[in-house]
Amino acid sequence: MNLITDALKHINYRAPEREFYYWLLLGMAFIPLGIWLDDQIFNHIMQWQTPFLNTVIVFLTEYFIYALLGLFGAVTLFRVWHNENNQSQLVPGCFAVLATGIIAYVLKSYFATPRPYLDLALTPLVPGHSFSFPSGHTAVAFALLIPLWRINKWLGISWFVFAVSVGFARVYELVHYPSDIAAGAILGGVVGATFSHSESIKLFKVLWKQLEFRRQSFHFACGFLCVFLHWAGALRLRFIGVILVAGLILSLASQYKQFPLLGKMLSSFDRPRDQDFPGRGAFYFCLGVFLTFMLFQKEQINIAYAAILILAVGDSLNHLFASQVYKYNLPWNRRKNIVGIIIGVSMGTLAAQFFVPIIPALIASTIAITAETVPWRIGRFYLDDNILVPLLAGVILWILV
């Protein structure tokens, strides 16, 4: 694990402690205040609601925030491939948003707090899809606050106003208590401050130079994004099909000298063997997601979510750690090792168990990730793991669940 170990040796882990304590103190002040407001705020909210304000609030939380986050991701990707070293100040912000979203969802499942409109028998502007505590919208919004503040103070102040507006909007929509907003803001603030700290950025700069880290980070993020967008009703099969066709067109176009920037962008995430098919990994990843959603629909959609997360989390970490550990190699595949399998199976199970029972999740993750270590070839045809892992995991879950 030479690269990761060498990077960790140069990190001062105590440096971010002061910022962590600042956010902890804010949490000790604002979360109790939020709890005190929980029983009082909704009587006032009902008096403030107007048709015009309702439209603005719904647009802010259901469309505008996702558009801004998508724009931030697109700009980050542009900066990464435009930079000679494939790095950008925006990358820690993307990791912060992803980590915050995952932690918020885990906490929601753990606390299982009902939405306020259910407790108070009210009609929400937009029904919630999950539990209440903490607010995921607010957490994700505040996750970008400190990263943007460190890039530009005025940008940070503007984003603070936006993040506070998102928190207020979620209470206004009757889908969150004020304590949910306070907890979400503290969660996002802590994660954003940690990921954007100078010591964290030093670690990112070292890791980001490695191709496998960039590839698996991309797969990890895209897997969670696909599951979330489909769960939220914003991603359908036809849209994934359009992405696949567009991906093939971009892959072909990148091979022509007239599009040098496109070729450079794809090469930032491609292995050397992918020169004849730029963007191969991304294409097969989308194809695996497409086939999984196509096979497991409606009543079986949780199987699709679990299978995709086994691919995104388990298989990505398996590849990442297998590329860094040079011991305990498997006899049938010297590029794989038992450390990668154990970590991949453990994390794949952890991710999948939010949608299926833990024992089937463990069995499916173990079989799918172990099967990925076997080179499945018939002549010149190679079965890509981005297709094998989710489909095999999905079939096993279908049998067991």
Q: Read off the pLDDT of residues 252-273 as tens digits, 9 standing for 90 and up.
A: 665 554 444 445 555 556 566 6
Torsion of CA 31, 36, 37, 43, to 10 degrees: 160
Exposure string for 332-360, b = 16+ CB within 10 A, e = fewer:
eeeebbebbbbbbbbbbbbbbbbbbeeeb
Sketch the domain layout of the chain as residue ranges: 2-206, 211-400
Integer Cα distance of 282 and 288 in angstroms: 10
- Comparing 1 with 190, the larger pLDDT belongs to 190
CA 171 to chain centre: 24
Encoding tokens for residue 300?
């079986």
Q: Give the residue among 315, 320, 319, 324 at the shortest CA–CA distance from 346.
A: 315
pLDDT at 310: 92
Max alpha carbon distance in the chain (Å)?
Answer: 70
Residue corresponding to tokens 């090792």:
337
Of all residues in the chain, the percent with pLDDT exceeding 90 is 16
Q: Read off the pLDDT of residues 72-106 as tens digits, 9 standing for 90 and up.
A: 888 887 776 666 665 677 778 888 888 888 888 88
pTM tops 0.85:
no
Residues recorded for the chain:
401
CATH number for the 2-206 domain, one of 3.40.1760, 1.20.144, 1.10.8, 1.10.1760?
1.20.144
Q: Give the residue among 254, 257, 319, 250 at the shortest CA–CA distance from 286.
A: 250
Asked if pLDDT for residue 10 goes beyond 70, the answer is: no
